[in-house]
Amino acid sequence: MDSRRHFIGKVATGLAGTLAAGPAEVLAATTRIRVGIIGAGDRGMELVPQIRACPNTEIAAFADIFSRRLERAQGAVPTATVTSDYRKLLEDKSIDAVVIATPPHLHAAQFVDALDAGKHVYQERVMAFSLDHAKKMRAAYQRYGSKRTVQIGHQACSFGHMGDVRQFLSDSERLGNITAITMQMHRNTPGNKAPWSRTALLGPDVNSRNIAWENFLGDTGRRSFDANRYIHWRYFWETSGGNVFEGMSQQLAFWYKALRLEISAGVSMKGGIYLWKDGREVPDTMSVTLQQPEEILISWVSGFGNSQLGAGEEVLGTHGTISRASQVRYVPQKINRPQAGEMTGRSAHVPHAHMENFFDCIRSGKEPNCPFEVGYRVSIACRMAVDSYRTGRTLRWDPEREEIV
């Protein structure tokens, strides 16, 4: 019970995170921030208009291992330079910040190299591919965190929803004791086409002459060029964590941030490939259970065969419920709060808010909306889920040894 009182008090008073590294060196408000994008695939190019929507920013360079993507990037931003080696981009001292939007198995090396090169970093999710990668990234962050702004790309942390939730949580009596969080992400597609399918891109240009294959492999080990593995990297364990990395990480990050949750004490995952027998390794239907040290049980269920339930979360307390989908709502438990009324959040969502927060924090030195510590904790919880599925057993976090057991 003492741990629960401490948890509720921590949420109400908003204590600082344990990994905070202090304020970053700042730039003047009028300084134009030059940005390099590492990874000019679909996600990297989706972020281009978000960067352009932020005042006093300039996209200065792209790095990508696929020459055709560099051609597309330069077509979108003719003034930008392009390179197939991200380290060349990092050597450009005129670049202030980088956006890393590559597959997750490449994040750690690029993140560490970017901090070593003196860059501020916007790191797309999931932050770290493995526990070892997360620790390497943490070591770099702790070396340079006082001089660098690091924003992890869990965009929901900058949604207006976060302000609504914080308002609802400002009075601990609204929820009482929180014991469970249920989360779901259900999708469907026309003709039940497989999400992430990029078969149309498997043309003759996808070859080892146009793709720096060794750079794509990272530390996964040697493998002959495989166009399918390159285009469909989300399908394979060497380069992906499936929808746990893509979807659960986003929803989990929101509540890890809002409730200031620690790394899950235990995680189990079940599921399978029930829809698409196309050679993929990651499941298309799955259920994850996360036991929190704050005495909260989190469940996440996801599938791609029916969108009726959509995506959303419910935080269940003895005095009330907070629901988040397209908007945030509070519904009291009348048995314990007979006089309380329902509440609906009214905050607006700005698509580029998370990116703008990153640049604002570079200028102000303030902590960004999704700081390193949130990405670190979420990454470890997601890795525990994936490894639980692959090993068929519940995995636990040893906080003393900082190991998954």
Report how far residue 35's alpha carbon sits from residue 38's, in angstroms, rounded to the nearest whole number. Answer: 10
pLDDT tens per residue across span 7-24 = 554 565 553 444 545 555
pLDDT confidence of residue 192: 84
Q: What is the pLDDT of residues 204-216, one digit of tens each?
A: 999 999 999 999 9
Lowest-confidence pick of 266-275, 310-319, 344-353 = 344-353
If asked whether residues 122 and 138 sit together in one domain, one would say yes
Considering the domain architecture, whether residues 111 and 243 belong to the same structural domain is answered as no
pLDDT band, very low/low/confident/very high, at 30 (cuts 50, 70, 90): low
pLDDT the model gives residue 31: 85
State the pTM of this model. Answer: 0.94
Specify whether 186 is located in the same domain as 119: no
pLDDT mean over 147-169: 96
187-203 confidence digits (pLDDT tens): 999 988 888 899 989 99
Instruction: Specify whether 338 is located in the same domain as 313.
Output: yes
**Mind listing the pLDDT tens digit for each residue in 299-342?**
999 999 999 999 999 999 999 999 999 999 999 999 999 999 99
Residues 260 and 247 in one domain: yes
In a domain, 367, yes or no: yes
Range of the domain at 366: 15-157+357-371
- Tally of structural domains, the chain: 2
Is 268 within a domain? yes
Q: Mean pLDDT, the chain, as a whole number?
A: 94
Which residues are 180's β-sheet partners?
A: 297, 316
Residue 350 has pLDDT above 50, yes or no: yes
Share of the chain above pLDDT 70, in %: 93
Decide which of 5 and 247 is more confident. 247
Whole-number Cα distances in Å, 232 to 34, 216, 351: 31, 12, 27
- Burial of residue 52 (CB within 10 Å: 0-12, 13-18, 19+) is middle
Is position 145 within any domain? yes
Which two tokens mark 139?
């070591």
Instruction: Tell me the sheet residues that pair with 38.
Output: 63, 100
| Residue 214 within a domain | no
At residue 7, the pLDDT reads 56
**Residue 278: inside a domain:** yes
Interval 221-238 mean pLDDT: 97
Token digits for 243? 């929808």
Between these two residues, 142 and 28, which has the higher pLDDT value?
A: 142
270 located within any domain: yes
DSSP β-bridge partners for residue 177? none
Q: For residues 251 and 315, is the Cβ–Cβ distance under 8 A?
A: no
Residues 245 and 316 placed together within one structural domain of the fold:
yes
pLDDT score, position 4: 55
In degrees and rounded to multiples of 5, residue 65 shows phi and psi of -85, -10
Cα separation, 79 vs 68, in Å, equals 17
Q: Are residues 133 and 192 in the same domain?
A: no
Give the pLDDT mean for 243-252.
Answer: 99
Question: How many other β-carbons are positioned within 10 Å of the β-carbon of residue 121?
Answer: 26
224 lies in a domain?
no
5 confidence band (pLDDT: 50, 70, 90):
very low
Q: Write the pLDDT tens digit of every residue in 171-189.
A: 999 999 999 999 999 999 9
The closest alpha carbon to 146, from 17, 25, 19, 16, belongs to 25
Looking at residue 25, its pLDDT comes to: 64
Regarding whether 186 and 80 lie in a shared domain, the answer is: no
Task: List Cα–Cα distances, 20 to 47, 138, 146, in angstroms.
Answer: 26, 11, 9
Residue 383 has pLDDT above 80, yes or no: yes
